[in-house]
Structure 1
Amino acid sequence: MPSSRCTGVEGWSSKQVAVWLREQGFREYVDLLCSKHRLDGPSLLCLTEKDLRSPPLELKVLGDIKRLSLAIRRLQKHYTTLTHSDSSALSKIDTGGTEQTLSNGYLERASIDHQHCNGTVATVDGDHSYSNGKRKSHCGRLDPEYWKTALGALYAMMVCGVTSFVMVLVHERVPDMRTYPPLPDIFLDSVPRIPWAFAMAEACAVVLGSMLMLVLLMHRHRSILFRRLCNLTGTVFLLRCVTMFVTSLSVPGHHLQCSGKIYGDAWTKVQRALEIWSGLGMSLTGVHTCGDYMFSGHTVVLTMLNFFVTEYTPRNWNFIHTMSWVLNLFGIFFILAAHEHYSIDVFIAFYITTRLFLYYHTLANTQAYQHSRRARVWFPLFSFFECNVLGPVPNEYCWPFPTPSFINILLG
């Protein structure tokens, strides 16, 4: 048994355990142990002969029980020996006899031999580089923390509700077009208005959203990804509530025919906010608003979807990345071509969304900042959601639904 594989047992997935069982001559138990009981590396290290005999496994062949328990004990012995030798070396890293020191003063341990379910892992100088250019410095299984994901979804929904209500308020304060004509804008003054362009912008967002939903569905760490999507999108739209409330820009075009609407009592405003919230603020669903210009919410959605698609798919998926960027940029062009926003609205929306996405992931991928006092003070939401995600999230993909047992038998 190669030592690199022994030290990597704690990071094995069920598929890797299945490969090990076949190598040891226990092919007939792959479906029982790996498919039905989802045995992975850490659980394999804890497996005993009593577990093999007792429910729920209840192996019937005595010889197989003895041989399998012997193979497991041999694997455990190798793992224990090599782990102790590694711990005695402290921060020594096996990179061709040299140590590797990071710029932040921490020593990084070389990643173990770890075959992921999407097969996109390559060994580089003792490290394992993922197809998205990231290196994984830990081999433990990432905790999905579904309860945090539920809180992230609740946070995003609450922000959407607040945004909808603020949009009702700013609609009441929209400047009179006869007194405040559209502001000078280089793009809007140079490009004629295309009436159907705004519908095309929303169609680009729908396609991008469908692409991201497929990525989330197939991604092994979909809970973490969805939590980050809710956290980032909610935070950007919360900032948008402030910017569009404090300053009311004049309507960018006479075709919008906007006028201040007085909705009367608070209950009427809440009803209008619920209409905007249920329609996701899209004209395709029959929602039309005025006054919510600084900054463009459609640009935020397009850009956020694009960045999540390109970040959490392998780097060699060139067609997907190109298509994602084309949809993002064409969507922005269509927003301006429809004269629904000023150019500054779109530019600020793109800049804020991209910077926040990059800053968030830079902090999330740097363990030195995740537990720092500064992160807890200035980024409490980030510190709460990311405290147990150590390092970059690898792009691992797997079938999200249970596989019928007869298919596993056919595949061996």
Structure 2
Amino acid sequence: MLGCSGVQAWSSKQVADWLREQGFSAYVDLLCTQHRVDGTSLLCLTEHDLRSPPLQLPLLGDIKRLALALRKLQRQHSPSHTPSTDFRANGSKYCYRNDRFGGDYRQCNGVATVTAVMEQHCHGYSNGKYKHRWSQLEPEGWKTILSLVYVTLVFGITSFVMVLVHERVPDMHTYPPLPDIFLDSVPRIPWAFVMAEACALALGYILLLVLLLHKHRSILFRRLCSLMGSVFLLRCVTMFVTSLSVPGNHLQCSGKMYGDIWSKLLRALEIWVRMGMSMTGMHTCGDYMFSGHTVVLTMLNFFITEYTPRKWHILHTLSWVLNLFGIFFILAAHEHYSIDVFLAFYITTRLFLYYHTLANTHAYQHSRRARIWFPMFSFFECNVSGPVPSEYCWPFSRPAFMKTLIG
């Protein structure tokens, strides 16, 4: 822990270390690299500075928490013999109270130090009790296990619905492919669908590496399972309520009856085990509205770009290229209508952004409306106090004999 006795002597690097300790790693580059904030300027920062240009932090929750941390640091650094008068004159120096930002400040020659601050800790509603909120993010592995169970069940339900819609696929002679501006304009590429799945696998391996090295991997994996399960559960509804005709004559699909319930369950298990991928030899019909492959591509891309540092431009560009090329290959293979892919991309991106907006807005997580309309979100995110910083660490501890040799 950095000491407070010599804050004015801190360099920008020490300020960066303090920000990381407080859980504000996302703003180290902005404050310490771009604006060269050192110890002296750190003590002068106010909530107004955080809100206004050139800093202008984007998230209200971060502004409030960082302002509270600054007030505590300024109070600890202020001398205990500071007079309590509202105004005094001492040569060229002047001091006055400043209550503009909810605390009791003394401003001397433009430098603000806190003499009395009402420490208001953020609280969160969880399991019927209010809890103290800090920047420390707990992994809560048991919730992550529940999210894994949830997404596994959803994938099983999706596989069973795919069996049902295959039985109801419209006859190709009676219901030919619908007009589609992209499919009618671009000739079919036979190997394109396998390339789309290859793009998804590449994104999956990248995200797996990010999850493995990320300090808060448990929270990230929980969010991935929660969002993926919710989108695919919505896909089950859209597939089941309306059956579209096949998008291309090359598919040679027709309604196939699987007999009794056990035959359907065995077919669903086969789809689930092979993950519904054509490169594993799985071919299905009728599951068009909306594209599951596009959902996976887009979700993996957004998680990679969200939970890696902004300066990793090459990785973000590669992720977007794989996402967009994967979408193009799906359409070039004539495996889905254009509307299937468009809606899949739109729904996935909106749910991702809505979820993270709510998760980063701490005040909304524990409201009654959130618990009613988004019970799973409120349950999973009740103890996450804002944006998850991009912090990385080695996931494996050193063996005991190595510690002995080194130590």
Whether TM exceeds 0.5 here: the answer is yes
- CA distance in 1 between counterparts of 2:6 and 2:264 reads 64
TM-score computed with the length of structure 2 as normaliser:
0.70
Whether the 8 Å contact between 2:160 and 2:264 is mirrored in structure 1 is yes
Which residue of the partner structure matches residue 145 of structure 1?
Answer: 140
Q: Find the aligned partners of 2:292 and 2:4 in 1 and give their Cα distance.
A: 54
Pair 1:327–1:96, CA change in 2 (3 A): same
Query: Residue 109 of structure 1: CA displacement?
Result: 3.5
Alignment map for 1:7-406 (pairs within 5 Å): 95-96=45-46, 108-110=64-66, 140-404=135-399
Structure-1 separation of matches of 2:341 and 2:400: 51
Q: Is the strand fraction higher in 1 or 2?
A: 2
Distance 1:407 1:271 in 2: 49
CA contact (8 A) 2:298 2:323 kept: yes
The answer for unaligned runs of 5 or more in structure 2 is 8-16, 23-42, 52-57, 71-111, 113-132
Q: Find the residue that maps to 2:136 and give its secondary structure.
A: coil
What SS is found at the alignment partner of 1:293?
coil
CA contact (8 A) 1:95 1:110 kept: no
Kept after mapping to 1: 8 A contact 2:172/2:253: yes
Q: Which amino acid aligns with 2:349?
A: T
Change (3 A) 1:264 1:393: same
| Superposed CA RMSD | 3.0
Q: Secondary structure at the match of 2:268?
A: helix
Provide the secondary structure at the position in 2 that maps to 1:186: coil
Deviations 1:119-139 (A, max 9, x none): xxxxxxx9xxxxxxxxxxx86
Which deviations, in whole Å up to 9, do the C-alpha atoms of 1:344-384 show, x marking residues without a partner? 00000000000000000000000110001110111111001
> In structure 1, the residue corresponding to 2:64 is in which secondary structure?
coil
CA shift at 1:141, angstroms? 2.1
Letter in 1 for 2:269: L
Taking a change above 3 Å as real, the CA distance of residues 155 and 367 of structure 1, as seen in their structure-2 partners, is same
Q: Quote the Cα distance in structure 2 between the aligned partners of 1:208 and 1:159.
A: 21
Report how far residue 217 of structure 1 moved.
Answer: 0.1
TM-score (norm 1): 0.69
- Deviation of 1:405 (Å): 6.8
Task: State how far apart, in whole Å, the 2-side matches of 1:106 and 1:303 are.
Answer: 27
Distance between the aligned counterparts of 1:276 and 1:186, measured in 2?
31
Structure 1's unaligned 5+ residue stretches are 6-15, 18-39, 42-92, 114-125, 127-137
Q: Residues 193 and 107 (structure 1 numbering): CA distance in 2 closer, same or farther, change over 3 Å? A: closer
- Mapped contact 1:312–1:395 kept (Cα < 8 A): yes
Is contact 1:209-1:305 (8 Å) kept?
Answer: yes
**After TM superposition, where is structure 1 displaced by more than 4 Å over at least 4 residues in a row?**
96-107, 404-412
Deviation at 1:252, TM superposition (A): 0.4
Change (3 A) 1:250 1:276: same
Instruction: State the Cα distance separating 1:286 from its structure 2 match.
Output: 1.0
Inter-partner Cα distance in structure 1 for 2:386 and 2:66: 14
Deviation for aligned residue 1:110: 2.2
Q: 1:402 and 1:228, CA in 2 relative to 1: closer, same or farther beyond 3 A?
A: same
Q: Deviation digits for residues 226-264 of structure 1, max 9, x if unmatched?
A: 000000000000000000100000000000000100000
* Contact 1:100–1:108 (8 Å) recurs in 2: no
Question: In 2 relative to 1, CA 212–105 (structure 1 residues): closer, same or farther, beyond 3 Å?
Answer: closer
What is the count of residue pairs matched by the alignment?
308
CA distance in 2, matches of 1:4, 1:335: 60
Q: Tell me the amino acid that sits aligned with residue 267 of structure 2.
A: R
